[in-house]
Amino acid sequence: MTVTLIFLALLLGTFLTWIVRQSLNVRPWASADGPSVNESDSLPPAATPARVGLAVFLAAVTSLFALSISAYTMRMELSGDWIPLAPPPLLWLNTLLLVVGSVGLQRAWDGARRNRLAQVRSGLKLGGAATVAFIVGQLFVWMQLQAAGHHLVTNPATAFFYLITALHAVHLLGGLIAWVRAMVLASRGESMRDIHVSAELCALYWHFLLLLWFILFGMLLVT
Amino acid sequence: MARLGHEATSYAPPLEMPEMELVHPKTFIGKYVFSQDAKVIAIQYFITATSIGLVALVLSILIRLQLGFPGTFSFLDPSSYLQHVTMHGMIMVVYLLTALLLGAFGNYLIPLMCGARDMVFPWLNMLSYWTYLTAVLILVASFFVPGGPTGAGWTLYPPQAITPGTPGYDWGIILMLVSLAVFIAGFTMGGLNYVVTILQARTRGMTLMRLPLTIWGIFMATVLALLAFPALLVAALMMLMDMLAGTSFFMPTMIALGEQTGYEDGSPLLFQHLFWFFGHPEVYIVALPAFGIVSDILATHARRNIFGYRMMVWALIAIGGLSFVVWAHHMYVSGMNPYFGFLFATTTLIIAVPTALKVYNWVLTLWKGNIQLTVPMLFAIGFIFTFVNGGLSGLFLGNVTVDVPLADTYFVVGHFHMVMAVAPIMVIFGAIYHWYPKVTGRMMNDTLGKWHFWITFIGTYGIYYPMHYIGLAGVPRRYYAYGETGFIPDSVISLNAAITIAAIVVALAQLLFFYNMFHSYFRGREAGPNPWNATTLEWQTEHTPPHHGNFGRELPVVYRWAYDYGVPGARHDFIPQNVSPDDVETLPEGQEVPAR
């Protein structure tokens, strides 16, 4: 549980600092004296509801993966039957695809910021295609493992490999729903404000899942 | 004016709040079924959670019939007994309490109390309810599948949960795990809304430190839930894989029904860690909203500002943080390193500090207050009793050496029902009596409410207090029947019969409540907009019940905290949050506030 506890300590520490800063010099019982009506404790204007919503969701997703990593390390230590699984080399190519996916969505986001609809469209297309290719690539990895005799039940290390890669892929698939929405908005040429919000959320989510993949892949390589 | 201590020049002029675009459907289905109005969603949550809660209540009576009068009822066999215990526990904790406190009260109160038109993501909010309903239906389906629901105990410990021979091995356990996963997905959607709405959609002047404690409680509980439910999700997914695909995450090498299973070397202890990493914060997911709500009920009905508001907020946060580092106190008897046990006993006892602070502050709020013994107030005071009672027995169980002999006895059943079943239910009833006039526009009947309170309060003591003695006598929990057991005296058998009678009386008393709720909806006294003379924004709406959009053309502007009761110099004993210092009616010098 160390991994999860470190994550939670960081998260709650940040939250606590923010809350204490908001509340230390405040006299809640005093009515309407200047600063409290000045919205001094509001989040900065850049923190739009959509961004904050995404951040909160990512915190929950991080908790899910931190717990999966904790379960992985605990299961490894608690029993003596763990046989490490060498991750197939195809994963390197898949990682590259995911990087391309992230770059594509970043391009879309940049395009939306600069009001360039064509760039948004091409970025989204590149991002979506690379992501689909990544998921197909992960399926190929699974098939390779099956062919090599590494089934779900072979060993807990294999079972965890399938579980963790599947969880990650499911989150990408969920992201693709948001991506479809962004695509629809962009292809219909809806207002750039809506497209911007949509593309930005996709890009941030993809960067997060890429970072997460680096951590998961690193863990699979090291252990 | 000077006596009120305000500087008339210092308030900022009301600025324009960004207005939400609300969906205003014209059809019945759009308005009441697939509604995006948080208030309608709240009522949908309320109806669903209460309905499934009533199923769990009936199950508890079946459990008590067996324990009070063993062997009398042929429809209760060992398997069905275990199934009833399991379903009762899981439904009450997750599908009733969590859904009611966060789904129902959260949805109704967050936008209204924060001064928002609706939740920030209304469509997601609607989806959250329908996902929750799906989870409930999957759970209910398990009553009708071959083999019935799972009987693994509400903690679903492996290897028992997925070993042949355990009731519900065929389908029950699968449906339970799937239902939990769906519930968590639905909750995450709702939880996102609660957190973002509280952070982003507060009206002008509603600073964090002016939020009513109800909102603080719901906020912290939601944060805990968003971080803790993933532990249950991971555990459920891994157990599903063990069950369906034959992996060995949790399942050890073992023989079941005389045959070697295919499992190898899995760790049941890993499940316990994951389960309780969710399970302990879950206690506070239920408790923190109750803490918040009870603070507001006490302040309103004692006509007194809450004692130590900032301390109350920090205590909520401290309890939330600490709740993540106490999980292994549920596992003292799982065979852990003694130093590990010492660590968790220490953190467990530390969490008593902020909790005790809250209790002191509630009592100090009542001190010299103008206490109105209304029905909500009775329930709130009842909560203080039951919560302190359950909390004190928790101090026993938090210590490893005391817990080891008591862990598997009725002492634990008495403890956790007192602290996490009766206490939050007291608050829920108090909250319903308190906010019913806003939701329906009518008052609930006072006499019926008082009967309901006294029977429930005394009755629940009649149920759970004796369990502590039965536990101290060493009577183990979870057993269907004790047979010819030498160490169990006859008095325990008589007590068990008495407990069952008390349980039936309490269950029947709930009919009073439901009758009152339905009857008052049609025949109750008109409530008016603010029958309790409360300060918070939900009582200041233009319409009662509030229309979609909550407030009139303009959102309210907040000038003060939610606890301006009995302000010296003010003509009335309460000043609503949206009354500016200029508009406060004052008394002439030397005149006292009239008693209500």
Same domain, A211 and A167: yes
All residues of chain B having their beta carbon less than 8 Å from the beta carbon of residue A201 are none
Same-domain pairing of A5 and A64:
no
Q: Is the per-residue pLDDT at B15 higher than 70? A: no
Q: Name the minimum distance, in Å, from the CA of B425 to any CA of chain A.
A: 28
Residue (of B112, B281, B100) closest to B201 by Cα position: B112
What six digits make up the tokens of A31?
Answer: 């009515």
**Interface residue A157 vs chain B (CB under 8 A):** no
> B15 vs chain A: nearest CA distance in angstroms?
10
Six token digits for residue A95: 């990682």
Computed over every residue of chain B, the mean pLDDT equals 91
Instruction: Test A71 with B269 for CB contact under 8 angstroms.
Output: no
Per-chain mean pLDDT for chain A: 89
- In eight-state DSSP terms, residue A143 is H
Distance CA(A65)–CA(B536), nearest Å, equals 40
pLDDT digits over B360-409, tens only? 999 999 999 999 999 999 999 999 999 999 999 999 999 999 999 999 99
CA distance B34 to B130: 9
Q: What is the Cα–Cα distance from B559 to B403, expressed in whole angstroms?
A: 50
B308 touches chain A (CB under 8 A): no
Token pair for B564? 């301006």
- Give the residue on B whose Cα is nearest the Cα of A15: B317
Structure tokens at B557: 């502007």
Q: Do A75 and A185 lie in a common domain? A: yes
Note the pLDDT tens digit of each residue in A139-159. Answer: 999 999 999 999 888 889 999
Q: Give the gap in angstroms from C-alpha B247 to the nearest C-alpha of chain A.
A: 5
Whether the CB of A4 is below 8 Å from some CB of chain B: the reply is yes
CB A115 within 8 A of CB A169: no
B586/B572 Cα distance (integer angstroms): 8
Query: Inter-chain contact A64–B564, Cβ cutoff 8 Å?
Result: no
- How confident is the model at residue B384, as a pLDDT? 96
Which of B119, B210, B309, B325 to mutate against chain A (most A CBs within 10 Å)? B210
Partners of B526 in beta bridges: B442
Q: Measured between alpha carbons, how far is B510 from B453 in angstroms, rounded to an integer?
A: 10
What was the pLDDT predicted at A34? Answer: 43
Total number of domains constituting chain A: 2
Chain A residues in contact with B199 by the CB 8 A cut-off are 43, 52
Contact B219, B289 (CB under 8 A): no
Distance CA(A29)–CA(B216), nearest Å, equals 16
What ipTM was estimated for this complex?
0.93
Residue pLDDT, tens place only, A96-136: 999 999 999 999 999 999 999 999 999 999 999 999 999 99
Q: Verify whether the Cβ–Cβ distance A32 to B581 is below 8 Å.
A: yes
* Tokens found for residue B509: 């008393």
Q: What distance in Å separates the CA atoms of residue B550 and residue B534, rounded to the nearest whole number? A: 17
Q: Do residues B496 and B67 touch, judged by C-beta distance below 8 A?
A: yes
Nearest Cα to Cα of residue B110 among B209, B19, B197? B197
Closest residue in B to A163 (Cα–Cα): B238
Question: Average pLDDT, stretch B205-216?
Answer: 93
Tokens 């509030």 sit on residue: B546
Instruction: Please determine, for residue B427, whether its predicted confidence score (pLDDT) is greater than 80.
Output: yes
Contact at CB, A156 and B305, closer than 8 angstroms: no
Is residue B284 over pLDDT 70? Answer: yes
Question: Are A25 and A124 part of one and the same domain?
Answer: no
Q: Same domain, yes or no, for A72 and A141?
A: yes
> What does the pLDDT look like over B127-153, one tens digit per residue?
999 999 999 999 999 999 999 999 999
The reported pLDDT for the residue numbered B4 is 42
> Alpha-carbon distance B490 to B456, whole Å?
27
User: Using the 8-state DSSP alphabet, how is residue B570 labeled?
Assistant: B
Query: How far is C-alpha B348 from the chain's CA centre?
Result: 20
User: Would you place residue B10 in the very low, low, confident or very high pLDDT band (cuts 50, 70, 90)?
Assistant: very low
Query: Chain B within 8 Å of A166 (Cβ-Cβ)?
Result: no
Q: CB count, 10 Å around CB of B153?
A: 16
Closest-CA distance of chain B to residue A174, Å: 12
Are the CB atoms for B453 and B379 separated by under 8 Å? yes
Residues A106 and A11 in one domain: no
pLDDT digits (tens, 9 = 90+) for B24-71: 787 888 888 889 999 999 999 999 999 999 999 999 999 999 999 998
A161 in the same domain as A104: yes
What is the CATH classification number for the domain harbouring A78?
Answer: 1.20.120.80
Region A41-54 average pLDDT: 81
- According to DSSP, residue B583 is labeled G
C-alpha distances (whole Å) from B316 to each of B61, B217, B241, B364, B526 are: 34, 7, 37, 17, 36
Count of beta carbons in the 10 Å neighbourhood of residue B504: 16
Same domain? A53 vs A19: no
- What's the rounded Cα separation, in Å, for the pair B544 and B530? 9
One domain for residues A172 and A73: yes
- Residue at B298: amino acid letter: L
Closest by CA position to A222, among listed A150, A170, A157:
A157
Q: How far apart are CA B94 and CA B173, in angstroms?
A: 16
Chain B interface includes A181 (CB < 8 A): no
Residue-wise pLDDT for B500-517, tens only, equals 999 999 999 999 999 999
Q: How far is A120 from chain B (nearest CA, A)?
A: 25
- pLDDT greater than 50 at residue B14: no
Sign of CA dihedral A88, A92, A98, A100: negative
Give the distance from residue A27's alpha carbon to the nearest chain B alpha carbon, in angstroms.
Answer: 8
Instruction: Answer yes or no: are the C-beta atoms of A28 and B310 closer than 8 Å.
Output: yes
Task: Output the pLDDT for position B592.
Answer: 64
- On the CB side of A188, CA atoms within 13 Å amount to 10
Euclidean distance between CA atoms A172 and A168, whole angstroms: 7
DSSP per position, B374-438: -HHHHHHHHHHHHHHHHHHHHHHHHSHHHHHHHTTBHHHHHHHIIIIIIHHHHHHHHHHHHHHHH
Spatial contact of B135 and B233, defined as CB atoms under 8 Å apart: no
Confidence of residue B594 (pLDDT cuts 50, 70, 90): low
The four Cα atoms B417, B419, B420, B422 give a dihedral, to 10 degrees, of: 60
CB burial of B516-549 (b: ≥16 within 10 Å; e: otherwise) equals bbeebeeebeebeebbbbbbbbbbbbeebebebb
Judged by a CB distance cut-off of 8 A, whether residue B69 touches chain A is no
Q: How deeply is B496 buried, as exposed, middle or buried, from its count of CB atoms within 10 A (0-12, 13-18, 19+)?
A: buried
What token pair was written down for B332? 């003292």
Chain A / chain B CB contacts < 8 angstroms: 173
Q: How far is B279 from chain A (nearest CA, A)?
A: 14
> Residue A96: what pLDDT?
97
Q: Which amino acid is at B562?
A: A
Domain range for A169 is 49-222
Q: What is the DSSP letter of B251?
A: P
Q: Note whether B16 contacts A: Cβ–Cβ < 8 A.
A: no
DSSP string, B492-555: HHHHHHHHHHHHHHHHHHHHHHHHHHHHHHHHSPB--S-TT---SGGGG-SSSSPPTTSS-SS-
**B5 touching A (Cβ < 8 Å):** yes
Strand partners, B565: B574
If asked whether residues A27 and A118 sit together in one domain, one would say: no
Q: Which residues of A touch B223 (CB under 8 A)?
A: 15
- pLDDT, tens digit (0-9, with 9 covering 90-100), for A153-211: 888 999 999 999 999 999 999 999 999 999 999 999 888 889 999 999 999 999 999 99
- The residues, ordered by sequence, that sit 6+ positions from B578 with a Cβ below 8 Å of its Cβ are B115, B537, B540, B556, B557, B558, B559
Residues A53 and A94 in one domain: yes
| A86 and A169 fall within a common domain | yes
Residue A20 pLDDT:
79
Interface residue A46 vs chain B (CB under 8 A): no
Name the residue facing A67 among B223, B247, B274 (closest C-beta): B274
Question: For the residues B250-276, what does the mean pLDDT come to?
Answer: 91
Residue A173 one-letter amino acid: L
How many other β-carbons are positioned within 10 Å of the β-carbon of residue B391?
A: 17
**Residue B476: strand pairing partners:** B409
Q: Quote the CA–CA distance of A113 and A17 in Å, as a whole number.
A: 32
Rg (CA), chain B: 25
CB B106, CB B41: distance < 8 Å: no
Residue B586's SS3 state is strand
Residue of B nearest to A12 (CA): B321
Q: Which one-letter DSSP state was computed for residue B103? A: I
Asked if residue B1 has pLDDT above 50, the reply is no
**B249 contacts B242 by C-beta, under 8 angstroms:** yes
User: What SS3 class is residue A92?
Assistant: helix
Dihedral in degrees, nearest 10, Cα atoms B582, B559, B6, B575: 70
In 10 A of CB A167, how many CB atoms? 18
User: What is the mean pLDDT of the segment spanning A10-24?
Assistant: 82
Indicate yes or no: CB of A59 within 8 angstroms of CB of B317: no
Q: Which value, to the nearest 10 degrees, does the dihedral of the CA atoms of residues A194, A54, A136, A143 take?
A: -170
Quick check: B190 and B128 in contact, CB under 8 A? yes
